Amino acid sequence: MNKIANYFRESIKELTEKVTWPTWPQLQQSTMIVLAATLVITFIVLGMDFVNGTVFKQAYKMLFK
């Protein structure tokens, strides 16, 4: 039981003293970067899905007339 209490004590000490937390502007900037990257990747996947769907529809029309 002493090991568990020691683990929690050291974890709290590390979180309060050793970890450097981002400032509010840094956090906002990081959030905007993540949102922008998410939107870019979403539109890339959307485009790939549209192209693949179109290609497969045309292929099915040619193969199964």
Helices (H), 1-65: 2-13, 24-63
Q: Is pTM beyond 0.75 here?
A: no
4 lies in some domain: no
63 lies in some domain: yes
Half-sphere exposure of residue 64: CA atoms within 13 angstroms, side-chain side = 6
Which residues constitute the domain of residue 52?
23-65
Can you tell me the distance from the alpha carbon of 55 to that of 59, in angstroms, rounded to the nearest whole number?
6
pLDDT band at residue 57 using 50, 70 and 90 as cut-offs? very high
Given a cut of 80, whether residue 65 has pLDDT beyond it is no
32 lies in some domain: yes
Q: Residues 10-55: pLDDT tens digits?
A: 999 999 898 898 999 999 999 999 999 999 999 999 999 999 999 9
7 lies in some domain: no
Domains identified in the chain, total number:
1
38 lies in some domain: yes
18 lies in some domain: no
What pLDDT is recorded for position 1?
80
56 lies in some domain: yes
Can you tell me the distance from the alpha carbon of 20 to that of 16, in angstroms, rounded to the nearest whole number?
9
